[in-house]
Chain A
Amino acid sequence: MPRVFITGLGFITSIGNDAARVTSSLRELRHGFMLYPPFQDPSIPVKVAAPVRDFVMDSTDCEDWTIPPPYTIKREILRGMSPNVVYAWCAMLQAVADARLADADISNVSTGLYAASGGSPYFMGQLMHRMHTMGVMRCSPLGIVASIAGTVQFNLVAHFKIKGSSCGFASACASSSHALGYAFDDIALGRQKRMFVVGAEDGNVDAILPFAGMRALSLQTDPGLASRPFDVARDGFVGTGGGVVLVLESEAEVARRGVTPYCEVLGWGQASDGHNVAISHPEGHGLRAAMEHALRATHLAPEAVDYVNAHATSTPIGDASEARALKAVFGAAGARPAISSTKSLTGHGLSLAGAMESSFCALAIRDGFTPGSAHISRLDPECAGLNIIRTSLPTGPTIVMNNASGFGGANVALVFKQAR
């Protein structure tokens, strides 16, 4: 089976709009939270969010948008996009440059793209409003394309002239981890030589606020306290958006192009809770099974893993459930990998989360550091026995596991290894 490597990354995130800024934020535990202006209305109970900086896209008219340099997107392309696609587009340009891909490397039948985003609730809402108030014939001809889930791959595949596999993944907060897993499979099975994996979310009012209805968001008013996974006082997640792109390539392509990869993708596993539509299994059964499948698929013992980037979003139930799953997989075997949730810095990126956090893992492996779990003042007793690191370590991991869990009890664990 061909080995699979990560050769390029691109970031538009709440903690930085390029790899250098993201790396320093992770090393220095610099978070991306703020009192989000649209939430300061007294009728909105949530105050903190982690918006992407420098982009202004709070209108459905793309000609009103501010997109920071060096990015420029022509109107005829922009009109089919919603904010999450713009983030993905910019991250895609970074990843292409980072992997040093020529046009011919991008546009061929052996190069595909898998994407995950929740679409644009904001755009869809405005489109429906316009349809009902002004009539359907007054709606933008590209309203659907710009707003439904799938909009990321519609746009990127068309404009980057992708000719290989393409589709979108919809398992909520596990979506882009699924995308990465299946992209790995496509290369490992010899179907594709190269895959782009894209995660993106609007991260604006309409994307984040509905989670307040299910009581999943933190009501904290202090941006430095709102997202604190594994802390006993955690009270919900903080929403974020952005776009992240990874370039996966086969061993042969890495050798042919003479590029130095970030790390190897060793394999992955997934399993489902079969329990509740929105709440994770209290014992973390599905996530535990996903991690065990991933270890089995990569022929690794639990003690081989030296860092776990946890899914932990800072919700009371979810983090406890993951802690139990981690204890079952690693504690039982006497393994004590470093564990952290980088959502303590970024907030929870929903469909973006898996791709974003896997990219953080790739940065950590290549640059030799281990990102810490910020904002823990009192560790939840449920985490006793787990090596949850509260500061970033100056040494890098060799083998990393990245967890993701989505609605419906979908769980994915991805495994990365230092490239040699």
Chain B
Amino acid sequence: MPEAVQPHVGSSKPFVFPAKPFAPEDEAALREALKRCSPSTFEAAVQFRKTGNPEHLPAVVIGVIERFVEPDLRVKLKDADDDLRLIEDLGIDSLTMMEIVILVEDVLQMSINNDELRNLRTVGDVKTFIDCKVRGLELPKPTKFLPIEQIAAIMPIQPPFLFLNEASVSSSGANGKYKITGQEFFLQGHFKDNPVMPASIMLEALGQLAVLFLLEGASTEPGKVISPTTIFFTGCEGVRAHRMCRPGDILTLSIKPKRMKMPLATFEGSIRVGQEKAAIAEEITLTFGFAEAPSQPVPAKDSAAVVNGSNGAHSPTPLRAAVSSP
């Protein structure tokens, strides 16, 4: 990923790879620790412990999460994208998160402190987190979840032309959902007695998600803030529609930044309905500019908001100890 779209907050001590070689007794202990995980989890953990190669980490982390998820929910993890949410989708509560952490620490021989975990909300967050820990990289900005009220408050685009119901934004991209209600004004004429979501509007929805990413997820030079009034569409390439989308369909939108250099930002985007591919855009390019007066850096405010949210108001975080008294 290009350095320009790789913002970092937080800190992390580099993983110190143990000088001691991986011994048979280590393997026995590892087997015992992972006895309720899949054989592939154990294999990946052995490989990681022997080689230190971070490529094995996702299999270990997903395997450990899977072991703590109720059996009837495990199927979700099978073809999980990185946006699968730990609390809402997998039913993992704060205590289960601690169990996961204890096992991951044990298996990967690392230590993780509670503060670092507060912002891990998705499977992708966890994978990225562990990867950064092992490589000794700075920890990425946490994924932010934005309900429609917050999206509308941020975006220069407003109803009835806003095609996002909810979104999550991280440093590596953004995801959103939009349900086609059938009440959209243009469906009256597109087509006659046959409402179909126009492909141009689907592309527009992807563009709107990219706008949201620029305003909420993109890192900029210190002290510079992208102004909502400066963002416009400039072009797109490789757009293909695969599936007609009709009222009742829920569009799952996803964009990832490919290049970002003032004043242009290029993204790739895709739309799914359930597991079906609906549309892709190889490139969507937006132009943007900075706000004239330099304002306060955004990250401080953002992280404060996330921490406040974790106090129970509306955005549960995975690692709030449920202990009510000492």
Please state if B105 and A137 are interface contacts (CB–CB under 8 Å). Answer: yes
Tell me, rounded to whole Å, the shortest Cβ–Cβ distance linking B96 to chain A: 7
Give every chain B residue within 8 A of A75 (Cβ-Cβ).
70
Per-residue CB proximity of B181-202 to A under 8 Å, as 1/0?
0000000000000000000000
Contact assessment for A137 and B102 in the assembled complex, using a CB-CB cutoff below 8 Å: yes
The CA of A138 and the CA of B105, in the complex, are separated in Å by 8
B99–A137 touching, CB < 8 Å? no
How far is A79 from B98 in the complex, measured between Cα atoms in Å? 12
A76 close to B96 (CB less than 8 A): yes
A141 interface contact, C-beta 8 A: yes
CA distance A75 to B106 in the complex (A): 21
Q: Which A residues lie within 8 Å of B321 (CB)?
A: 141
Contact with A along B12-55 (1 / 0, CB 8 A): 00000000000000000000000010000000000000000000
Tell yes or no: A142 within 8 A of B by CB: yes
Tell me if B131 counts as interface (CB < 8 A to partner A). no
B106 touches A138 (CB 8 A): yes
Q: How many A-B residue pairs have CB under 8 A?
A: 23
> Which of the listed residues A76, A140, A142 has the most CB atoms from chain B within 10 Å of its own CB?
A76
Residues of A183-208 whose CB lies within 8 A of B: none
Contact between B102 and A138 (Cβ–Cβ < 8 Å)?
yes
B93 beta carbon closer than 8 Å to chain A: yes
Task: Assess whether B95 is interfacial by the CB under 8 Å rule.
Answer: yes
Query: Which B-chain residue is minimally distant from A139 (CB atoms)?
Result: B102
Give A49-85 as 1s and 0s: 1 = Cβ < 8 Å from B's Cβ atoms: 0000000000000010000000000111001000000
Q: Which of A137, A138, A139, A141 is close to B95, meaning CB atoms less than 8 Å apart? A: A141
What sequence of 0s and 1s flags, for each residue 90-118 of chain A, a beta carbon within 8 Å of any chain B beta carbon?
00000000000000000000000000000
How near does chain A come to B51, taking the closest CB pair, in angstroms?
24
B111 at the interface (CB under 8 A from A): yes
* Cα-based distance from A74 to B95 in the complex (angstroms): 15
Contacts of A139 in B (CB 8 A): 102
Q: Which residue of A lies closest to B96 (CB)?
A: A76
Instruction: Report the minimum CB–CB distance from A183 to chain B (whole Å).
Output: 24
Please, which residue of chain A has its CB at the minimum distance from the CB of B91? Answer: A76
A142: contacting residue among B70, B95, B105, B111, CB under 8 A: B95
CB nearest neighbor in A for B103? A138
Q: Residue among B93, B95, B96, B98 with the most chain A CB within 10 A?
A: B95
Among B36, B70, B99, B111, which residue has its beta carbon within 8 angstroms of that of A141? Answer: B99
Q: Which of B70, B105, B111 contacts A74 (CB 8 A)?
A: B70
Would you list which residues of chain A between 124 and 162 have a CB under 8 Å from chain B?
137-142
Within 8 A of A (CB), among B106-120: 106, 111
Total interface residues in chain A, CB < 8 Å: 11
Give CA–CA (A315, B93) in the complex, Å: 48
Chain B residues with CB below 8 A from A63, complex form: 36
> Min CB distance, B104 to chain A, in Å?
11
A75–B72 CA distance with the chains assembled, in angstroms = 13
Closest to B68 in A: A75
Please name all residues of chain A whose beta carbon is closer than 8 Å to the beta carbon of B99 when the two chains form the complex: 79, 140-141
Q: How far is the CB of B133 from chain A (nearest CB, A)?
A: 15
Q: Is the CB of B93 within 8 A of A76?
A: yes
Which B residues are CB-close (under 8 A) to A74? 70
CB distance from A167 to the nearest CB of B (A): 14
Q: Which residues of B contact A79 (CB under 8 A)?
A: 95, 99
CB-CB under 8 A from B111, the residues of chain A are 137
Most buried by B among A63, A138, A140, A141: A141
B residues near A76, Cβ cutoff 8 Å: 70, 93, 96
B199 CB → nearest A CB, Å: 45
A311 nearest CB across to chain B (Å): 34
Q: Which residues of A299-334 have CB atoms within 8 Å of chain B's CB atoms?
A: none
Set of chain B residues within 8 Å of A142, measured between Cβ atoms: 95
Most chain B beta carbons < 10 A, residue from A79, A137, A139: A137
B residues less than 8 Å from A138 (CB atoms): 102, 105-106
Chain A residues with Cβ under 8 A from B105's Cβ?
137-138
Report the Cα distance A75→B74, complex, angstroms: 14
Considering the complex, give the chain A residue whose CB is closest to the CB of B111: A137
Query: Within the complex, what minimum Cβ distance (angstroms) separates B67 from chain A?
Result: 10
CA distance A76 to B95 in the complex (A): 9
Q: How far is the CB of B97 from chain A (nearest CB, A)?
A: 9
Closest beta carbon of chain A to B7's beta carbon, Å:
30
Q: CA of A140 to CA of B96 in the docked complex: distance in angstroms?
A: 10
Contacts of A141 in B (CB 8 A): 95, 98-99, 102, 321
Mask: chain B, 294-326; 1 = CB below 8 Å from A; 0 = not: 000000000000000000000000000100000
Q: What is the CB-to-nearest-CB distance from B21 to chain A, in angstroms, rounded to a whole number?
A: 21
Distance between A216 CB and nearest chain B CB, rounded to angstroms: 34
Interchain CA distance A63-B96 in the complex, whole Å: 14
Nearest CB in chain B: distance from A133 CB, A = 12
Q: Tell me the complex Cα distance, A63–B98, Å.
A: 17
Report the Cα distance A76→B96, complex, angstroms: 8
Report the minimal beta-carbon distance from B306 to chain A, rounded to whole angstroms. Answer: 23
Which residues B220-257 have CB closer than 8 A to chain A? none
Complex interface residues of chain B between 79 and 136 (CB less than 8 A to chain A): 93, 95-96, 98-99, 102, 105-106, 111
| Minimum C-beta distance from B118 to chain A (A) | 16
Q: Please report the C-alpha to C-alpha distance between residue A138 and residue B96 in the assembled complex, in whole angstroms.
A: 14
Cα A148 to Cα B95 in complex, Å, equals: 18
A138 to B321, CA, bound (A): 15
List the 7 shortest-distance A-B pairs measured between CB atoms, nearest first: A141-B98, A141-B95, A138-B102, A138-B106, A142-B95, A63-B36, A141-B99
Q: Which residues of A contact B (CB under 8 A)?
A: 63, 74-76, 79, 137-142
Given A75-B70, A138-B105, 10 more A-B residue pairs with CB atoms under 8 Å apart are A63-B36, A74-B70, A76-B96, A137-B102, A137-B111, A138-B106, A140-B102, A141-B102, A141-B321, A142-B95
Complex A-B: 20 CB contacts under 8 Å: A63-B36, A74-B70, A76-B70, A76-B93, A76-B96, A79-B99, A137-B102, A137-B105, A138-B102, A138-B105, A138-B106, A139-B102, A140-B99, A140-B102, A141-B95, A141-B98, A141-B99, A141-B102, A141-B321, A142-B95
